[in-house]
Structure 1
Amino acid sequence: MVEHKKEGDLPVVVVAGRPNVGKSTLFNRLVGRRQAIVSDTPGVTRDRKEGEALLRGRRVKLIDTAGLEEAAPETLFGRMRASSEKGISQADLVVFCVDARAGITPADAHFASWLRRQNKPVLLVANKAEGRAGTDAALEAYSLGLGTPLALSAEHGEGIADLMSAIVDRLPKEKSAANHEDGEVVRPLRIAIVGRPNAGKSTLLNALLGEERSITGPEAGLTRDAINAQLEDEHGPIEIIDTAGMRKRARVQEGLERVSVSASIEAMKMAEIVVLVLDATRGVDEQDLQIARLIEREGRGCVLALNKWDTVEDRQATRRAVSDRIEISLAQMRGIPVVTFSALTGEGLHRFLPTVRRASEVWNARVGTSDLNRWFEDALERHQPPLVDGRRLKLRYITQVKSRPPTFVIFGTRAEQVPESYKRYLINGLRETFHLPGTPIRLQLRGSRNPYVNQGDNK
């Protein structure tokens, strides 16, 4: 018997998939605490586990299910499957989890086919996709016919912020007259403020809020935990997280400081835009570049904030030196927006939020497939793909599979063999042609067969 939801009930999100793909680890990540037992042994979860999660300002009821397995109804595994199916019947959204490391198994294909017949919205997640290699492996999940797979690692926290956004985007719209004229809730833009100790991060937060929310002073390292604050501009709500200063790893001491830095990195992973605050009088040093590279690896949008601008004597030379250092050392984030101000006096602070909003628009950008492929044909004509093992690579077409950050997939014969130098050429072309300055761009390559073709139609 299907349970009918009452008006006002939380939307239900069900995590499903075969055993040992990391469903419980993902459940714990989303709930924010260790509520479900996790183990390398398949089949540890036998009952449905429920928890409440706050995802991008939206409260949801999250259900962790037992692994979907083929089994006779009277057996333990049969009863576990029946319990999972009942949970799915209540779902507003099913998060279908596969293991990117193991690849797509016949069980994955079987239950994906079963899910398509349930008429439930499905979000396909490829778990255990650590790093770039894992993201490429996740592309195999296209073959399930459930749309674009979202690559993540529940164990390491990679891609969790993107998953939260994807879940909220697919849920039924929440109604609230307070936040929007037509009653649709506006989700806050999430910003993390990061940087070295004593760069002025907490002073910036206080200046934006108009109150002494964070303790400030000449001593470095006053902020020890990530501090959340809310504000609103003319475009809607903003959630800002002020983080502890991040020193070079060799200087980070045991105990409290290590925990503080971990909290800063976690806040960065959950943000949409990361503001890297620099002391303009000191310029860009290697630690700033390391933080910027971490922001790029996490796929976050970035704004470079030059604080203490009122104390800089030769502003033109300082700005040029910062821009040159960034262009040379962070080619993968070319065109990163820079905003100058003094958090202490308020000079130039009016430029801060508009710059962040513009960076968010770029990070969320979508490019039409026809425009993309017109550009792609011109790019191939201007500079043909190189020979690999004496044979020319045949690249056929390109599509954007997601934003946040802009992510593109190129399909073609042996496309996965494209060298890094040619990938950089294509990424630079995408950035310049479609006006994507400063944001990370992901370019994935899918060789040989077209994943959109239904393999069962071989006649």
Structure 2
Amino acid sequence: MGERPFLVIDTGGFEPVAKEGIMHEMAKQTRQAVAEADMVIFIVDGRQGMTPHDKTITDFLRKSGRQVMLVVNKAEGMRYSAVTADFYELGMGDPYVISAAHGDGVMDLVEEALNLALAQKPVDEEVAVDLGKAIRIAIVGRPNVGKSTMVNTLLGEERVIAFDMPGTTRDSIEIPFERSGQQYTLIDTAGIRRRGKVFEAIEKFSVVKTLQSISEANVVLLLLDAQQDISEQDAHIAGFILESGRALVVGVNKWDGLTSSRRDEIKIDLDRKLDFLSFAKFHYISALKATGVDQLMKSINSAYAAAMSDLSTPKLTRALIEAVEHQQPRRKGSIRPKLR
């Protein structure tokens, strides 16, 4: 919103007393989301009025120690005093009134939430400096492509559980290490799945962490599985990396054991389905046997250097001219932007 980036976690319905099943898993992940949040927006139903469930959630939020904004939804056409009267009993201050369906009050709510969150979380300059010393690498890909195995190979020890079962790594794990005198921080993430396939709440938050890890990385290593067909989801992940503006290196894992004809088929498939990644370096590797990893790391260093380099004005101008010759900017109305 505006120039201030922020991450929103939309939790499932919160049943704090649930003991089993999907509602129990959703409650666990909601608790995790609250613990990690800078601001919690507690939405209640203005048409239904206050319920015993609202009181239970209020007790939980009060004990969490997090800053909470009480928001009364579905308030269209209702007077403020009428729609908020019941909810003062919760003891959470003056409620904010919105209509999510109509957009009434939503922008003001978000603006106020950001102001309150930033006011209580000053920037830690020392941490920012420390993080800048190491190249931050996010390792992403579909579940079970070998991300954790890649981390263990780079470190030379088993630091992350690698098991032949999608979803073994649920959380993003940051691991600092040094290689050939260069400091790195590896971000091993849970595999991204297509949003329509994210049924469990626990998987949902893994996706959030992965997308956040990409945004926080300097270079993203996209791992593909050579033993599976290149899917629409691989292209979707690659597209998000491009949109984030991060440097990109592609590793085609599990390359060992494939016949020469199968390898040729895979390369043709990559050229066809991921042609928009033609600028990126592709490496055909085996994370398990550590083959091709040295060259992969060299490409990561090169991608980082290119992304962080300061271009002189003439170089930048030439780069922009070449980019425009390759792809004209999108029209705005009847006018196409031109370089000056």
Q: TM-score range by the shorter chain?
A: 0.5 to 0.7
2:131 is aligned with 1:59:
no
Aligned pair 1:364/2:308, yes or no? yes
- Other-structure match for 1:203: 149
C-alpha displacement of 1:21: 7.0
Change in Cα spacing, 1:25 to 1:283, as seen in structure 2 (3 Å) is closer
* Structure 1 residue matching 2:127: 3-state secondary structure: strand
Q: Which among 33, 54, 76 is matched to residue 38 of structure 2? A: 33
SS of the residue corresponding to residue 206 of structure 2 reads helix
Equivalent position to 1:325, from 253, 261, 272: 272
* Residue 165 of structure 1: aligned partner: none
Q: CA deviation at 1:263?
A: 0.9
C-alpha separation between the residues in 1 aligned to 2:274 and 2:305?
Answer: 22
| Residue 261 (structure 2) pairs with residue 312 (structure 1) | no
CA distance in 1, matches of 2:320, 2:151: 43
CA contact (8 A) 1:188 1:236 kept: yes
Point out which structure has higher relative CO (alpha carbons under 8 A, 6+ apart).
2
Deviation of residue 257 (structure 1)? 0.7
Are residue 302 (structure 1) and residue 307 (structure 2) matched? no
Pair 375,271 (structure 1): closer, same or farther in 2 beyond 3 Å: closer
The amino acid that maps onto 1:320 is: K
Q: Using a 3 Å threshold, how does the CA distance of structure 1 residues 320 and 236 change in structure 2: closer, same or farther? A: same
SS at match of 1:33: coil
Contact 2:230 2:270 in 1 (8 A): no
| 1:236 and 2:190 aligned | no
Normalised by the length of structure 2, the TM-score is 0.60
Range with greater deviation from structure 2 (309-318 or 210-219) = 309-318
SS at match of 1:231: strand
TM-score scaled to structure 1, two decimals? 0.45
Does the Cα contact within 8 Å between 1:200 and 1:307 map onto a contact in 2? yes
Does the aligned pair in 1 maintain the 2:253–2:284 contact within 8 Å? yes
- The offset of 1:254, in angstroms, is 3.2
User: Does structure 2 conserve the Cα–Cα contact (< 8 Å) formed by 1:273 and 1:360?
Assistant: yes
The answer to whether the 8 Å contact 2:173/2:187 transfers is: yes
Aligned residue in 1 for 2:335: 417
Secondary structure in structure 1 of the residue aligned to 2:299 = helix
Report the counterpart of residue 353 of structure 1 in structure 2: 297
**Alpha-carbon separation, structure 2, partners of 1:348 and 1:270:** 26
Segments of 4+ moved more than 3 angstroms: 20-26, 34-39, 41-46, 48-55, 371-380
Distance change (3 Å), C-alpha of 1:54 and 1:305: farther
1:112-151 CA distance string (max 9 Å, x none): xxxxxxxxxxxxxxxxxxxxxxxxxxxxxxxxxxxxxxxx
- Per the alignment, residue 213 of structure 1 pairs with 159
Q: Note closer, same or farther for the CA distance 1:200–1:36 as it changes in structure 2 (3 Å cut).
A: same
Which of 239, 260, 282 pairs up with 2:206? 260
For 1:417, what is the secondary structure of its paired residue?
coil
* Aligned mates of 1:210, 1:277 — CA distance in 2: 19
CA distance 1:242–1:334, shift in 2 (3 Å): same
Residues in 2 aligned to 1:356 and 1:345: alpha-carbon distance in whole angstroms: 19
> C-alpha displacement at 1:269, in angstroms?
1.1
Structure 2, unaligned runs of 5 or more: 8-35, 40-65, 70-95, 97-107
Which has a greater percent of strand? 1
Q: Which residue number corresponds to residue 90 of structure 2?
A: none
**Residue 339 of structure 1: aligned partner:** 283
| Partners of 1:206 and 1:214 within 8 A in 2 | yes
For 1:348 and 1:32, the matched residues in 2 are separated by 40
Q: Give the percent of matched residue pairs that are identical in Structure 1 and Structure 2.
A: 31
